[in-house]
Amino acid sequence: MLVVVYIAIKSSIIFNTSVIAMLFGCCFYIDVKFSIFSNTSMIAMVFGCCFYIDIKFSIISNTSVIAMLFGCCFYIAIKFSIFFNISMIAMVFGCCF
């Protein structure tokens, strides 16, 4: 365990992310290291890898944060929505709507 944590710190780009990675593990450390935005990477550490992918490839940052609470299915509805209001309704009722 100590060796794995040491590698995470040594190969870290930002030192602060490596310290947080020690608490959450290597999987979350990879999410933080390859994150485009630092704020989204912090949120991704709490929710996991699946939600991180949603945030990283999101067009609009606000919709990605909301998608983290509902999951990937609702995120697809938001991402491919033409109008922002329709995507909000789609999150509540599901992909079919």
Q: Residue 50's pLDDT is what?
A: 42
- Alpha-carbon distance of 90 to 82, in angstroms, equals 12
Q: Residue 45's pLDDT is what?
A: 44
Q: How many CA atoms lie within 13 A of 54 on its CB side?
A: 27
* pTM of the entire predicted model: 0.16
Q: Residue 93's pLDDT is what?
A: 46
Q: Residue 14's pLDDT is what?
A: 45
Domain boundaries, the chain: 1-34, 48-97
Residue ranges in the chain whose pLDDT is less than 70 = 1-97
Q: Residue 51's pLDDT is what?
A: 44
Q: Residue 44's pLDDT is what?
A: 44
Helix (H, G, I), strand (E, B) or coil at 97: coil
- Any alpha helices (H) in the chain, and if so which ranges? 2-10, 15-24, 26-33, 38-47, 49-56, 61-70, 72-79, 84-93
